[in-house]
């Protein structure tokens, strides 16, 4: 009986009452008929029994309906409201309009909820006062860790991500999978070196030992130098480890160029010198066959040395401290430097980043411009940095007389400032030469900076963030997902916007967005949000709802690529959606042509709401958000990302309510959801949940 809802038990009570009354009536009439003993009275007794039976059933049904409407349903609502306030942190008052026949129960429940909210508020205020300083320190630490040069990662003993900073996200983002908490590190880095370093640490006797290794990103574009040590405060996971990574791709390439240069010196120059020595020892100017003379060999040797010298100049710049800098910022630094000399500079720069030592380059140009000012008396200069394909041209021009090449050569031999390096040393380190050009009235000097890097858009800059959840270190691992506690699972909550409501008639996705819930909390920095070109016009009626127009998706990815990217984002997680069959239909219909399958378990917040609040309640997203105190910005409603975030926040509260009802394991939740399939079809029958 305890598994039957309150309304079901009341219904069974009235059914038993009706059945007992009818049986009692039938027994009484049967007894009266036999006492009378007149056969002609049988029809009268039967008709009386039928009429009385129907009247009794009608009366009992009417009384049951009153009980169900005014007692059972309001009690269920009050119970759900109290659970929401106890487990989902809902603060607003309990509605009483439908519970006027419950006497003082609603008032008592409201007072209890108000007291609970007040106690929570007082406790939260006290905790807030005590943790303000800690929170400030935590934010400072996060900013510091976000900006440290190496990538920093913390992994569990099972090699799942617990912490990563912004540099790590940039290093690992070349993988086909987005960087997310609780993902396996081998999704992003070569497995062998990391496992080997980890085994060496576990088998060693020193808990503070550090192991260094070299690994590759899966795409092979980065060669990373790593340092690994076991984590100290490991939350019970003795095999957890901290790892730092540094990109040594360019260093390795630089050493390879130097090795190749030295190899060529030994392989090409030594034989030529040996031939000349033998010829000189023999006193021969030419071989007996009248072939190549010593002069010809010297010419070939000279040409070879010129080529090797050029390669050496490239290698010389490999060890110089350089970094990408915005061309506009470089010109701005030069302008501020000239301001100190009483000179003015106009700037025109392309939207590119140049790789150089900014301090040395600005010092070099400042020194040369000051010398030009001393010779020509020019006080106003113009700097233009333009894109030249694989390099950037840097030119400085002025009005007035020109300068001689001899004067320029003399200035280049001077140090940029007292105690500084010579100008020509800076030029050679950058692999550059300085030229005099421009017109007669507007002379100029120019050079070229190599290694142009295109500027990234602001939204692509992922450097200033730290993502972590240290509770993952102590989270239990379950062999069967049905045995797992709800907070031990990772969820991807998603929503789609489409051209229409009929996928079987050709409607397609125009936007898909998702957020991740890890360890019971939404990870704010792990977001999937993609506009999709549906390959067909978007009806104006649909655009009026979700705001996505044909112009917005003109250059967006196609439906197949969008589904493929979302499949990678959702890999290994439980999918959550509101009215999931609708959204999943747009995804599963692409499985065959893409050669993939969504094997993720699926939770529908409509069914979860029915389990938490009862089937008779309204289960729209707006109603759930209002009932659970989740705010949805009006401009974000009916956008894929806005609805996904709202669904995630609603699901977290519903999940806590289910735990309050004793449904703490995933298998128990699935069993409960399947009893509400008259509302929405449960999709887990298409996969094997074990």
> Which of 190-194, 298-302, 315-319, 570-574 has the weakest average pLDDT?
315-319
pLDDT tens digits, 357-385: 788 888 899 999 999 999 999 999 999 99
pLDDT band at 131 (very low <50, low <70, confident <90, very high): confident
Residue 570: closest CA among 592, 548, 603: 603
For the cut 70, the answer to whether the pLDDT of residue 674 exceeds it is yes
Residue closest to 315 by CA, chosen among 271, 257, 275? 257
Choose the weakest-confidence range: 52-61, 91-100, 140-149, 291-300. Answer: 291-300
Long-range pairs of 189-197 with CB within 8 A, sequence gap ≥ 24: 189/215, 189/216, 189/217, 189/218, 189/224, 190/215, 190/216, 190/217, 190/218, 193/226, 194/159, 194/226, 194/228, 194/243, 197/226, 197/228
First-to-last CA distance in the chain? 28
Q: How much is the average pLDDT of 593-603?
A: 94
- Are 612 and 658 contacting, i.e. CB atoms less than 8 angstroms apart? yes
CA Rg value for the chain: 39
Pairing state between β 521-533 and 557-558 = parallel
The residue whose two tokens read 């030469």 is 433
DSSP letters of 149-176?
SSEEEEE-TT-BEEEEEHHHHHHHTTSS
Task: Choose from 81-90, 138-147, 380-389, 464-473 the range with maximum mean pLDDT.
Answer: 380-389
Segment 549-558 mean pLDDT: 95
Task: Indicate the DSSP class of residue 683.
Answer: -
For residue 456, the model assigns a pLDDT of 47
Of 300-309, 450-459, 523-532, 651-660, the one with minimum mean pLDDT is: 450-459
- Average pLDDT of 259-270? 67
Q: Which is more confident, 677 or 462? A: 677
Of 205-214, 261-270, 341-350, 567-576, least confident by mean pLDDT is 261-270
Catalytic residue among 70, 92, 638, 676: 638
The whole-number pLDDT of residue 293 equals: 63
Helices (runs of H) and strands (runs of E) counted in the chain:
21, 20
Question: What average pLDDT does the segment 639-643 reach?
Answer: 94
Query: pLDDT at residue 581 above 90?
Result: yes
**Residue for token pair 């020892």:** 281
Q: Kindly report, residue by residue over 11-51, the tens digit of the pLDDT.
A: 888 888 888 888 888 888 787 777 766 676 777 777 888 88
pLDDT above 60 (res 455): no
In order of 312, 320, 425, the CA distances from 316 in angstroms are 6, 7, 10
pLDDT in tens, 337-353: 999 889 999 999 988 88
Alpha-carbon dihedral 300, 304, 309, 314, rounded to 10 degrees: 150
- Other CB atoms within a 10 A radius of the CB of residue 477 amount to 10
Rounded to an integer, the average pLDDT of 287-295 is: 53
- Which tokens belong to 27? 């027994």
Strands (E), 388-506: 391-398, 435-438, 443-450, 453-454, 466-468, 491-498
**Least confident interval from 367-376, 523-532, 672-681:** 672-681
Q: Which of 105-109, 187-191, 378-382, 408-412 has the lowest mean pLDDT?
A: 105-109
Determine the Cα–Cα distance for residues 305 and 313; give it in Å rounded to an integer: 12
| 607 burial level (CB within 10 Å; 0-12, 13-18, 19+) | buried
The whole-angstrom separation of Cα 627 and Cα 532 is: 33
- What pLDDT, on the 0 to 100 scale, is given for residue 387? 87
Round to whole Å and give the CA distance between 501 and 335: 59
Q: Is 638 a catalytic residue?
A: yes
Can you read off the two tokens belonging to residue 134?
């800690």
Res. 439 pLDDT band, cuts 50 70 90:
confident
Contact assessment for residue 41 and residue 33, using Cβ atoms and an 8 Å cutoff: yes
In this structure, the strands spanning 161-165 and 602-604 are: unpaired
pLDDT of residue 171: 83
302-316 confidence digits (pLDDT tens) = 677 667 666 665 555
The reported pLDDT for the residue numbered 459 is 40
Using CA atoms, how far residue 661 sits from 61, 78, 82, 658, in Å, is: 30, 14, 12, 5
Backbone angles phi, psi at 490, to 5 degrees: -100, 135
Lowest mean per-residue pLDDT among 284-288, 541-545, 605-609? 284-288
Which phi-psi region, left, alpha or beta, contains residue 134 (left: φ > 0; alpha: ψ -120 to 50)?
alpha
pLDDT of residue 333: 87
Considering the entire predicted model, what is its pTM? Answer: 0.66
Q: Please say if the pLDDT value at position 298 is more than 90.
A: no
| 389-405 per-position pLDDT tens digit | 778 899 999 998 889 99
Q: With 60 as the cut, is the pLDDT of residue 285 above it?
A: no
Quote the percentage of the chain above a pLDDT of 90.
35
Cα 570 to Cα 550: distance, rounded to the nearest angstrom: 27
Average pLDDT, the chain: 83
Report the C-alpha gap between 629 and 653 in whole angstroms. Answer: 10
């Amino acid at each position: 009986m305890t598994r039957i809802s309150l309304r079901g038990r009341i219904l069974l009570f009235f059914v038993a009452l009706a059945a007992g009354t009818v049986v009692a009536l039938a027994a009484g009439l049967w007894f009266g008929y036999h006492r009378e003993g007149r056969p002609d009275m049988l029809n009268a007794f039967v008709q009386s029994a039928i009429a009385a039976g129907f009247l009794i059933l009608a009366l009992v049904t009417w009384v049951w309906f009153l009980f169900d409407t005014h007692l059972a349903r309001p009690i269920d609502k009050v119970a759900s409201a109290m659970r929401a306030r106890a487990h989902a942190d809902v603060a607003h008052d309990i509605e009483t309009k439908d519970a006027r026949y419950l006497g003082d129960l609603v008032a008592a429940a409201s007072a209890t909820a108000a007291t609970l909210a007040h106690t929570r508020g007082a406790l939260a205020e006290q905790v807030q006062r005590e943790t303000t300083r800690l929170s400030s320190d935590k934010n400072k630490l996060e900013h510091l860790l976000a900006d440290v040069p190496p990538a920093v990662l913390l992994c569990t003993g099972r090699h799942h991500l617990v912490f990563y900073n912004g540099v790590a996200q940039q290093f690992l983002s070349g993988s086909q999978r987005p960087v997310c908490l609780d993902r396996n590190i081998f999704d992003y880095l070569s497995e062998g070196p990391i496992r080997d370093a980890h085994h060496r640490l576990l088998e060693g006797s020193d808990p503070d030992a550090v192991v260094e290794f070299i690994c590759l990103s899966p795409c092979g574009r980065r060669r990373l130098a790593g340092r690994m040590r076991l984590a100290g405060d490991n939350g019970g996971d003795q095999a957890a480890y901290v790892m730092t990574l540094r990109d040594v791709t360019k260093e390795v390439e630089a050493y390879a160029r130097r090795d190749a240069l030295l190899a060529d010196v030994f392989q090409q120059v030594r034989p030529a010198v040996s031939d000349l020595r033998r010829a000189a020892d023999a006193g021969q100017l030419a071989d007996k066959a009248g072939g190549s003379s010593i002069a010809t060999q010297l010419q070939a040797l000279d040409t070879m040395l010129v080529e090797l010298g050029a390669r050496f100049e490239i290698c010389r710049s490999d060890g110089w401290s350089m970094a990408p800098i915005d061309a506009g910022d470089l010109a701005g630094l030069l302008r501020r430097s000239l301001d100190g000399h009483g000179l003015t500079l106009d700037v025109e720069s392309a939207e590119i980043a140049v790789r150089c030592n900014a301090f040395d380059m600005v010092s070099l140009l400042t020194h040369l411009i000051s010398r030009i000012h001393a010779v020509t008396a020019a006080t106003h200069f113009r700097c233009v940095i333009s894109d030249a394909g694989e390099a950037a041209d840097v030119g400085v021009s002025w009005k007035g007389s020109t300068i001689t090449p001899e004067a320029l050569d003399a200035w280049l031999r001077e140090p940029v400032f007292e105690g500084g390096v010579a100008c020509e040393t800076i030029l050679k380190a950058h692999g550059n030469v300085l030229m005099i050009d421009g017109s007669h009235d507007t002379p100029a000097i120019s050079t070229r900076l190599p290694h142009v890097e295109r500027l990234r858009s602001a939204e692509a800059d992922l450097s200033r963030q730290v993502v972590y959840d240290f509770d993952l270190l102590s989270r239990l691992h379950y062999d069967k997902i049905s045995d797992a506690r709800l907070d031990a699972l990772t969820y991807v909550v998603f929503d789609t916007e489409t051209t229409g409501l009929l996928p079987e008639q050709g409607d397609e996705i125009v936007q898909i967005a998702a957020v991740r819930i890890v360890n019971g909390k939404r990870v704010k920095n792990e977001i999937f949000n993609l506009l999709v070109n549906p390959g067909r016009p978007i009806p104006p009626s649909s655009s009026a709802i979700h705001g996505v127009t044909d112009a917005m998706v003109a250059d967006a990815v196609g439906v197949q690529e969008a589904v493929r990217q979302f499949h990678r984002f959702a890999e290994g997680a439980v999918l959550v959606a509101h009215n999931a069959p609708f959204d999943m239909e747009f995804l599963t219909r692409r499985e065959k042509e893409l050669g993939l399958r969504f094997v993720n378990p699926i939770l529908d917040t409509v069914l979860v709401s029915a389990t938490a609040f009862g089937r008779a309640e309204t289960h729209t997203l707006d109603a759930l958000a209002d009932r659970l105190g989740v705010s949805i910005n009006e401009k974000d409603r009916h956008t894929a990302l806005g609805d996904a975030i709202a669904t995630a926040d609603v699901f977290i509260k519903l999940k806590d309510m289910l735990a309050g009802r004793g449904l703490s394991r995933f298998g128990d939740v699935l069993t409960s959801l399947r009893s509400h399939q008259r509302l929405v079809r449960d999709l887990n029958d298409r996969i094997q949940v074990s």
